C-alpha cells in the first residue's frame, strides 16, 4: 500500500480469513472542505461513532481491519462511484452528500461540482477500495474462501430513512445474494438473542461494499451489520460512548464474528 493510501485509512493486517471494513468511522475533514461547510456539519453527526472501540476484540480475533479516517461528508465510501441508487424509491444520501440525515444543508453556498467529485473519488474513495480489494485478494490466495464484514451503526431513530425505532441488529446480505445461505442462517441465529431485536435484509440490506464485493461463487462472502447506536452510546449532542451499554452488546458482536470465522475456516 502506498504512503498516500495510508493517510486515507487505517489498516491492520490479520491472520485469519475475515476482513472487517468500517467505511463510516472517520471524522476528519480537510481544511479546504471544512471551510465551506456549515458549523453543524463540522461535527459529522452522521458518523458511525466509536466502532473501533466497540469492536476492540477484533485484534484478539486476529482479523484484518480497514477503517476510514475521513468523514462520509467528504465522500461516502459505501456508495457506488457512479452514485447509483442503492435503495430505489427510498430516501438516501449520495456519494458526496449535500445534507445530513436530518435533512440539514451541509454547505454554506456552492455545492461540489462534477470536477470536485472526481478529485474526491481519486483521493479518498479509490484508495480505500483498492486496499479492500487487495486485502480480499491476499486472503483468498491464502485461505481460498473469505468473509467480508462491513461494519456500520446508525441512530435508532432517523425519520428521514425509516419509521419508528430501528431494530438493534440490522443484518444485510443483499437479500441473500452476498453470502452463502448457510452463513446467512448462522449469523441470523447468532444475533437472535434475548434483550436485543433483529431484522434480516430489512431497511438496510447492505450498501455498495456488501453488494459489490460479495461474490459467494468466487469465495467472497460479504455481510453488513447496521447496529443501532442506542445499544452502545448516547444518542445526543455528546455522542458519548457508554461502556455499560457496550458491555451488554459486545459479547453478541464477538459471537457473531467468531461464528463467521468458524464457518469460513470450515470451508
* pLDDT block averages, 10 residues each, the chain of length 267: 63 97 97 95 96 98 98 98 86 93 95 97 97 98 98 96 96 98 98 97 96 98 98 96 98 98 96
Q: Which residues, at least 6 apart from 146, have a Cβ–Cβ distance to it below 8 Å? A: 17, 18, 19, 136, 139, 140, 219, 220, 221, 264
In which domain, by residue range, is 50 found?
3-265
pLDDT at 187: 98
Overall number of domains in the chain:
1
pLDDT at 4: 46
pTM > 0.85: yes
Instruction: Report d(CA 189, CA 40) in Å as an integer.
Output: 40
Q: Which residues, at least 6 apart from 258, have a Cβ–Cβ distance to it below 8 Å? A: 61
pLDDT digits (tens, 9 = 90+) for 209-232: 999 999 999 999 999 999 999 999
> Could you tell me the CATH number of the domain that includes residue 61?
3.40.630.40
pLDDT at 91: 82
Cβ atoms within 10 A of the Cβ of 207, count?
Answer: 24
Amino acid at each position: 500500500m502506498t504512503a498516500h493510501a495510508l493517510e486515507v485509512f487505517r489498516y491492520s493486517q490479520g491472520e485469519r480469513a475475515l476482513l472487517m471494513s468500517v467505511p463510516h468511522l472517520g471524522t476528519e475533514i480537510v481544511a479546504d472542505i471544512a471551510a465551506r461547510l456549515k458549523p453543524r456539519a463540522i461535527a459529522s453527526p452522521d458518523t458511525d461513532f466509536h466502532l473501533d472501540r466497540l469492536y476492540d476484540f477484533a485484534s484478539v480475533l486476529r482479523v484484518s481491519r480497514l477503517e476510514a479516517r475521513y468523514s462520509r461528508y467528504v465522500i461516502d465510501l459505501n456508495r457506488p462511484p457512479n452514485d447509483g441508487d442503492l435503495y430505489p424509491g427510498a430516501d438516501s444520501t449520495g456519494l458526496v452528500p449535500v445534507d445530513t440525515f436530518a435533512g440539514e444543508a451541509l454547505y454554506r453556498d456552492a455545492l461540489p461540482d462534477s470536477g470536485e467529485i472526481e478529485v474526491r473519488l481519486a483521493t479518498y474513495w479509490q484508495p480505500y477500495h483498492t486496499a479492500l480489494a487487495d486485502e480480499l485478494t491476499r486472503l483468498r490466495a491464502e485461505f481460498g474462501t473469505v468473509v467480508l464484514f462491513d461494519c456500520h451503526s446508525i441512530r435508532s431513530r432517523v425519520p428521514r430513512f425509516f419509521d419508528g425505532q430501528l431494530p438493534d441488529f440490522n443484518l444485510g446480505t443483499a437479500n441473500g445474494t452476498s453470502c452463502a445461505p448457510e452463513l446467512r442462517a448462522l449469523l441470523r441465529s447468532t444475533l437472535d438473542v434475548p434483550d436485543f431485536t433483529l431484522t434480516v435484509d430489512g431497511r438496510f440490506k447492505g450498501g455498495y461494499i456488501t453488494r459489490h464485493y460479495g461474490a459467494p461463487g468466487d469465495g467472497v462472502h460479504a455481510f453488513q451489520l447496521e447496529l443501532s447506536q442506542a445499544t452502545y452510546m448516547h444518542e445526543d449532542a455528546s455522542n458519548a460512548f457508554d461502556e455499560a451499554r457496550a458491555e451488554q452488546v459486545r459479547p453478541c458482536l464477538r459471537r457473531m464474528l467468531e461464528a463467521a470465522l468458524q464457518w469460513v475456516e470450515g470451508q
